[in-house]
Structure 1
């Protein structure tokens, strides 16, 4: 009897809405740049890569953050930044990406690159160049760090607002969601809201559904970075669905950080059954070892998703994106074409 061969996932058009700047770096690029400048990398980023991670306590998160900071330190020149952005775009195109919103905290790079404004200019120029070179639609989300003072977040929100309509499409809040008080960042998100930026804070990953409620109540989230723990409370999940708030679900990183024990435990079927809008993302491929198409592949394997469900996940990623309408329409049509394409049959 012949079996149907699933359609190739790297040919499925998709948008990537949860990718961090340094975390998008290729492992080979990290090694090359570190060798160039004599930077000694920990074994977890060399021989033991991808690193074994856990963030269920502060010690685990500190180790994760230390590895991230080491990786960021290899970016020394404007060409390093351009290379990172270009390679991230190339990798997404290879995975079927049509649109990418890359997330960056300029305050983490400003000291080395002439200040936050100069660094933002550099990133936006690199994004424009990479988009022209690869054909990938691209934009930037400026993200504040919740482990820093809320006044820093306001400064970043004002910076993001200055670039609204000029390549910056959103404002986020990242890092360990167990740190800081969510309501303290409300003023920053109000600044971003007035600039018509997408409000995309992290929440509902390391903490439970109450973290989702917090970013909805205090930050007015349009999308939630992760948000996967909303599945823990049907009332919270119903609220997310009713509000039309998209969840940027990153399965591989959830498992790597210990949020779930394995990929079959990532509650994607629960989210979809409730009617949630889900956009799968890779988060930090440099640390988790899996890129965009890998998220679709792991969820297909873990939950037995059929091609129609995978196509709908791709459609949802485009619907949740801050992208030009003509491009969105074209991408949605291409998803339909992927699903309508003939399937292959294999006879054992």
Structure 2
């Protein structure tokens, strides 16, 4: 399939005249819907905080950074999770948390991000920060401060951990429901999707659903289309964290498109974890051609070494995407966000203006 044969999400704008020049992707306004809390940390910040407190970091997070990762088996995922846990351990103070949030906002802003939904599991930080409620209050206050200071819209998705008991997920869903409309916009389910039974988390998602939160479980990355099906049927997913492997089941992909379920694709991490062999193997063109709503995300830049704009540039190079197709992806990310209608309309207008600029 050639780039000319790939159509992005529906758009009323006419195609731009053919040109060999390319617009600056860091200036393309976009929404970032798949970014994990600790995974958003700058590498330099990790090193600085670790040195401050005498925390020993493994070579994979120092001179061998970014680490060579693969989650093809449980051992590979364990190594990935161990590195994530080590990185989380450097967050010791409220100022550390505020710094992480502010820098995530600054990095997204520099990459053209205009709306960010950062995902966090408060239970992973509760012991050090006074419990899940106190930590959630801290994060939401930090997000509000960063949003004002940096000039980017921000919200929080609270996520449960698949490797913990489903009752823990219910506790987090009730927490998320308490903050619905006060900075928390969604409820997710993360970690290794090969662990536990996704359907067992259905009751937690019903709590979040009744509160009007967006339902955003991870699925369809380490496992195939059946994982997507369970997320749709048992968790009532509005968006899918990853969801990329729905491309392997055309009939299911058709359902995803018909329901308007957005896919939070993270191509660089898909390759790093061994889901695909290289960027050209990521089935973005097939998903776009089917009419899927797609939001490119960076997942965990701290571990994968690649931030938001790099996802767009990687897919541009791998699939020879045109500026119009990349703009369609940016529009899709904005439309799939929980930004309010006024913010969404303003961001879509910014994308139109990007398309109207003359490529350098």
TM-score normalised to structure 2 length: 0.95
Q: Match for residue 313 of structure 2?
A: 297
Q: Which residue of 2 aligns with 1:36?
A: 52
Provide runs of 4+ in structure 1 moved above 4 Å.
Answer: none
Give the Cα–Cα distance (whole angstroms) in 1 for the partners of residues 269 and 212 of structure 2. Answer: 29
1:176 and 2:176 equivalent?
A: no
Structure 1 gaps, min length 5: none
**Match in the other structure for 1:62:** 78
Query: Are 1:78 and 2:71 matched, yes or no?
Result: no
Q: CA RMSD in A?
A: 0.8
Task: State the partner residue of 1:201.
Answer: 217
C-alpha offsets along residues 48-76 of structure 1, whole Å, 9 cap, x if unaligned? 00000000100000000000000000000
* Deviation readout 1:199-224 (Å, 9 max, x if unpaired): 00000000000000010010000000
What's the CA shift for 1:339? 0.5
Which residue of structure 2 aligns with residue 7 of structure 1?
Answer: 23
Deviation at 1:89, TM superposition (A): 0.1
Alignment partner for residue 52 of structure 1, among 68, 72, 77? 68
Aligned mates of 1:60, 1:302 — CA distance in 2: 26
Q: Which residue of 2 aligns with 1:104?
A: 120
3-state DSSP of counterpart to 1:139: strand
Whole-Å separation in 1 of the counterparts to 2:103 and 2:328: 27
1:226 partnered with 2:242: yes
2:180 aligns with 164
d(CA) in 2 for partners of 1:233 and 1:329? 33
Q: 1:231 to 1:3 in 2, by over 3 A?
A: closer
Count of paired positions: 343
CA distance in 2, matches of 1:5, 1:40: 46
Matches within 5 A, 1:215-294: 215-294=231-310
DSSP-derived class of the 2:195 partner: coil
Q: Structure 2: state its 5+ residue gaps.
A: 1-17
Determine the C-alpha separation between the residues in 2 that align with 1:239 and 1:179.
25
Encode CA deviations 1:273-331: one digit per residue, 9 max, x unaligned.
00000000000000000000000000000000000000000000000000111010000
Asked whether 1:154 is paired with 2:170, we answer yes
